[in-house]
């Protein structure tokens, strides 16, 4: 459609087409100029969306030659439901084939054209999309060729601009109304939030509703034990004297909450059926013109989004009903202030009441309906607590451990000298008497040679003295020979000790002289440390927090890093009362004896040990560290 004079559109078009105008009984001869003018006048004068769509659809049918039927299907954006808003001819139902084409266009969100060709009937359906949102569709049934179908599509697309303009205006009006309603509701939220106490918040809400919506009175009721108690009446801090009014308003609130819906008396036209007996009694008893009750949800603050906090009842003395806009406003206000009032009500309770309600609420969620996940979690937790309080386990002290020889013999340098050779190092097995190192004996050999020469000289002199019968000289020489023999014996002993031998069959625990051959040695310097192969002990490094639990005679299990899958049993033999510090922790040295010693065990192996103490409750074993820490922390802070 264009902005041209409508009288210039389609003049003389229908003379040979047999087209019917959108009138109840079209005459045999129609003045189409007057008909178009009347349609434009109706389109311009449309006072509501329904009349607007009907006039627009009639004009569209005039724009498409050969149109036999048309329907405009509209609904809520995207969600629907989509129903016929206008048909053409006005009093006729849309043909089923045309409705199927419209449904197809709605489902596919695109143009649907079913053309038979050859002048047969064509079906055209276009979706109505505004800003990408689906509002409905328009469908036409017309006769014409393929070219006529393309022209009809072009004209219908062009004409949809008028309908989109209407939908945008309608949506804009709804958005503006929603914004206004939201802003007004936020004003009431601010009023409720400004009150410090629950009762004060209810009174302020009722008074402000009465002033803003021109009502008298307005009451706020709270649901307790399946009955509503009126907690505030507008413009009245003490409403005890108005017991009849308060009772009747409470009954009206009960009636609305029982139905979980808004109740309006007298009921407006078009509303779904609702029971209004209590509202009618309230209106008659107190000469009220109109009564409105809106349920007020408690929201998530109550732990149940479906639970109702109470209701708001509004009365008007005059015979003026509450408009739909007012009802929607009060509904929004109730939905927004309900959770706030519930939170204030809960905060105003005493501590004892809060505790009782918290316990009761928890028990209700556990034993009441729903909350299956909480019930399962509670059963699992109860089972774990029962097991922890009844199941016992072996209490064992864990600690690092290592293997040491039962006896460790140090092999030292017998005298000062120089290292000549070495044949063993840490980790080697040695046999008793095996030479494991030698000391350079060159000086000793020279000294031995000197002494042997001196002895032969003394022997010659001794023989000569005997031959000449010089007994005194012979005696002196004999003593000198004995002295030289003693020195030779000492040299022989020292030469024997230059060959350092293993004292017994064992395992070299410490000592590696491979890099010190030729270096000097001091007398008594440790060269090797050897442990026997068949006698070991376990050394445990027990933490200072656990040493009080360990006693001689206790048994345990040891696993070495070399073979973590095998367990060796041991018994504690000795506790060392001296603490050592290493890696930021204090520990005591505890010695234990292995029950059996496998062939693969060797000194210096490390692993982990668990010393069994006694049988205790599992919960006591699991929380031992925490309880010990807690006892110490409480003792520190106590006066």
pLDDT class for 26, splitting at 50, 70, 90?
very low
Handedness of CA 243, 245, 251, 254 (dihedral sign): negative
Which residue from 59, 50, 103 is spatially nearest to 80, judged by alpha carbons? 103
pLDDT class for 291, splitting at 50, 70, 90?
very high
For residue 164, the model assigns a pLDDT of: 78
Among the listed ranges 117-126, 267-276, 477-486, which one has the minimum average pLDDT value?
117-126
Block residue for tokens 């510090």: 581
- CA–CA–CA angle 440, 446, 451 (5° rounding): 135
Q: 3-state class of 82 per DSSP?
A: coil
Quote the percentage of the chain above a pLDDT of 70.
90
Angstrom distance (rounded) from CA 22 to CA 36: 10
| Average pLDDT estimate for 375-403 | 89
pLDDT in tens, 64-113: 887 888 888 888 887 878 888 888 887 777 788 888 888 888 888 888 88
For residue 44, the model assigns a pLDDT of: 57
pLDDT in tens, 579-594: 888 878 889 999 999 9
- Give this prediction's pTM: 0.48
Task: Considering the chain, tell me which residue range(s) the CATH 3.30.450.40 domain(s) occupy.
Answer: 6-173, 195-348
Alpha helices (H) in 468-533, listed in sequence order: 471-497
| Average pLDDT estimate for 167-173 | 74
Handedness of CA 98, 99, 105, 108 (dihedral sign): negative
Q: Residue 417, class by beta-carbon neighbours within 10 Å (0-12 exposed, 13-18 middle, 19+ buried)?
A: buried
SS3 content of the chain, % helix, strand, coil (to 5): 45, 30, 30
For residue 224, the model assigns a pLDDT of: 87
Alpha helices (H) in 562-617, listed in sequence order: none
DSSP 304: -
Angstrom distance (rounded) from CA 62 to CA 12: 12
* Cis status of the peptide bond prior to 81, with omega within 30 of 0: yes
For residue 362, the model assigns a pLDDT of: 81
Sequence-distant (6+) residues with CB within 8 A of 65 are 13, 17, 19, 142, 144, 148
- CA–CA–CA angle 79, 80, 82 (5° rounding): 155
- CA–CA–CA angle 155, 127, 105 (5° rounding): 115
Considering the domain delimited by 6-173, tell me its CATH architecture.
Answer: 2-Layer Sandwich (3.30)
Type and span of the H or E element at 141: strand 133-143
Angstrom distance (rounded) from CA 559 to CA 567: 5
Q: Helices 198-213 and 146-194 meet at what angle, rounded to 10? A: 130
Please state the φ and ψ torsions of residue 389, each to the nearest 5 degrees: -85, -10
**What is the domain class of 195-348 according to CATH?**
alpha beta
pLDDT in tens, 507-566: 787 888 888 888 888 888 888 888 787 778 899 999 998 998 999 999 999 999 999 999
Type and span of the H or E element at 347: helix 324-347
What's the whole-number average pLDDT of the chain? Answer: 82
Q: 3-state class of 530 per DSSP?
A: strand
Angstrom distance (rounded) from CA 283 to CA 291: 7
Fold observed for domain 535-637: Elongation Factor Tu (Ef-tu); domain 3 (2.40.30)
**Lateral strand order in the sheet of 526-532:** 409-412, 526-532, 506-510, 429-430
pLDDT class for 5, splitting at 50, 70, 90?
very low
Please state the φ and ψ torsions of residue 111, each to the nearest 5 degrees: -65, 135
pLDDT in tens, 214-248: 888 899 999 988 899 998 898 876 666 668 888 89
* Cis status of the peptide bond prior to 89, with omega within 30 of 0: yes
Angstrom distance (rounded) from CA 104 to CA 505: 100
In this structure, how many other beta carbons lie within 10 angstroms of the beta carbon of residue 134? 19
**Token pair of 514, please?**
């491979």
pLDDT class for 32, splitting at 50, 70, 90?
very low
| Average pLDDT estimate for 297-304 | 66
Among the listed ranges 176-185, 336-345, 432-441, which one has the minimum average pLDDT value?
176-185
Block residue for tokens 């949809």: 160
**Lateral strand order in the sheet of 417-422:** 499-501, 435-439, 417-422, 520-521
622 pLDDT higher than 70? yes
Beta strand 67-74 pairing with 133-143: antiparallel
CA dihedral 592, 596, 602, 606 (to 10 degrees): -50
For residue 120, the model assigns a pLDDT of: 67
9 pLDDT higher than 80? no
For residue 22, the model assigns a pLDDT of: 38
Query: What is the number of residues in the chain?
Result: 639
DSSP 360: H
**Token pair of 10, please?**
């389609």
For residue 333, the model assigns a pLDDT of: 92
| Average pLDDT estimate for 187-199 | 90
First and final CA of the chain: distance in angstroms?
Answer: 93
Contact between 424 and 530 (Cβ < 8 Å): no
**Token pair of 545, please?**
């927090």
Q: Residue 62, class by beta-carbon neighbours within 10 Å (0-12 exposed, 13-18 middle, 19+ buried)?
A: buried
């Amino acid at each position: 459609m264009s902005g041209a004079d409508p009288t210039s559109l389609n003049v003389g078009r229908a003379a040979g087409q047999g087209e019917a105008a959108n009138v109840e009984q079209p005459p045999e001869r129609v003045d189409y100029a007057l008909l178009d003018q009347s349609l434009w006048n109706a389109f311009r004068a449309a006072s509501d969306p329904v009349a607007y769509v009907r006039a627009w659809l009639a004009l569209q049918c005039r724009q498409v030659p050969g149109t036999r039927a048309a329907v405009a299907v509209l609904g809520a954006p995207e969600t629907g439901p989509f129903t016929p808003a206008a048909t053409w001819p006005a009093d006729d139902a849309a043909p089923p084939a045309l409705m199927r084409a419209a449904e197809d266009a709605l489902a596919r969100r695109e143009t649907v054209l079913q053309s038979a060709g050859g002048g047969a009937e064509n079906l055209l359906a276009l979706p109505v999309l505004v800003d990408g949102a689906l509002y409905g569709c328009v469908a036409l049934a017309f006769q014409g060729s393929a070219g006529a179908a393309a022209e009809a599509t072009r004209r219908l697309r062009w004409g949809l601009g008028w309908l989109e303009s209407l939908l945008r205006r309608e949506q804009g009006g709804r958005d503006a109304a929603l914004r206004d309603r939201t802003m007004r509701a936020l004003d009431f939220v601010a009023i409720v939030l400004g009150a410090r106490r629950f009762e004060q918040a209810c009174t302020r809400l009722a008074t402000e509703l009465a002033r803003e919506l021109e009502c008298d009175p307005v009451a706020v009721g709270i649901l307790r034990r399946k009955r509503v108690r009126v907690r505030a009446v507008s413009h009245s801090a003490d409403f005890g004297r108005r017991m009849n009014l308060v009772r009747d308003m409470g009954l009206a609130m009960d009636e609305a909450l029982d139905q979980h819906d808004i109740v309006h008396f007298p009921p407006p036209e078009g509303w779904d059926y609702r029971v209004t007996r209590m509202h009618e009694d309230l209106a008659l008893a107190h000469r009220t013109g109109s009564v409105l009750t809106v349920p007020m949800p408690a929201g998530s603050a109550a732990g149940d989004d479906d639970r109702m906090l109470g209701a708001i009842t509004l009365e008007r003395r005059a015979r003026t009903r509450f408009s739909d806009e007012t009802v929607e406003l009060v509904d929004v206000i109730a939905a927004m202030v309900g959770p706030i009032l519930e939170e204030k009500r809960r905060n105003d309770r005493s501590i004892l009441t809060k505790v009782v309600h918290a316990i009761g609420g928890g028990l209700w969620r556990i034993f009441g309906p729903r909350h299956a996940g909480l019930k399962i979690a509670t059963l699992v937790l109860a089972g774990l607590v029962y097991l922890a309080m009844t199941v016992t386990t072996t209490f064992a002290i864990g600690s690092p451990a290592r293997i040491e020889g039962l006896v460790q013999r140090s092999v030292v340098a017998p005298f000062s000298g120089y290292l000549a050779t070495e044949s063993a190092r840490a980790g080697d097995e040695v046999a008793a008497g095996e030479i494991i190192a030698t000391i350079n004996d060159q000086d000793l050999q020279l000294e031995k040679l000197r002494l042997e020469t001196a002895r032969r000289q003394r022997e010659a002199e001794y023989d000569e003295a005997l031959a000449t019968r010089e007994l005194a000289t012979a005696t002196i020489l004999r003593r000198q020979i004995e002295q030289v023999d003693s020195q030779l014996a000492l040299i022989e002993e020292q030469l024997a000790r230059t060959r350092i031998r293993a004292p017994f069959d064992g395992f070299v625990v410490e000592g590696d002289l491979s890099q010190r051959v030729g270096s000097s040695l001091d007398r008594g310097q440790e060269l090797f440390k050897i442990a026997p192969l068949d006698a070991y002990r376990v050394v445990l490094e027990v933490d200072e927090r656990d040493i009080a639990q360990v006693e001689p005679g206790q048994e345990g299990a040891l696993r070495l890093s070399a073979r973590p899958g095998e367990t060796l049993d041991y018994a504690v033999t000795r506790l060392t009362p001296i603490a050592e510090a290493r890696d930021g922790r204090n520990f005591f040295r505890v010695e234990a004896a292995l029950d059996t010693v496998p062939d693969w065990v060797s000194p210096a192996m490390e692993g982990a040990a668990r010393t069994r103490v006694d049988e205790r409750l599992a919960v006591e074993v699991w929380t031992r560290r925490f309880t010990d820490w807690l006892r110490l922390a409480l003792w520190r802070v106590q006066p």
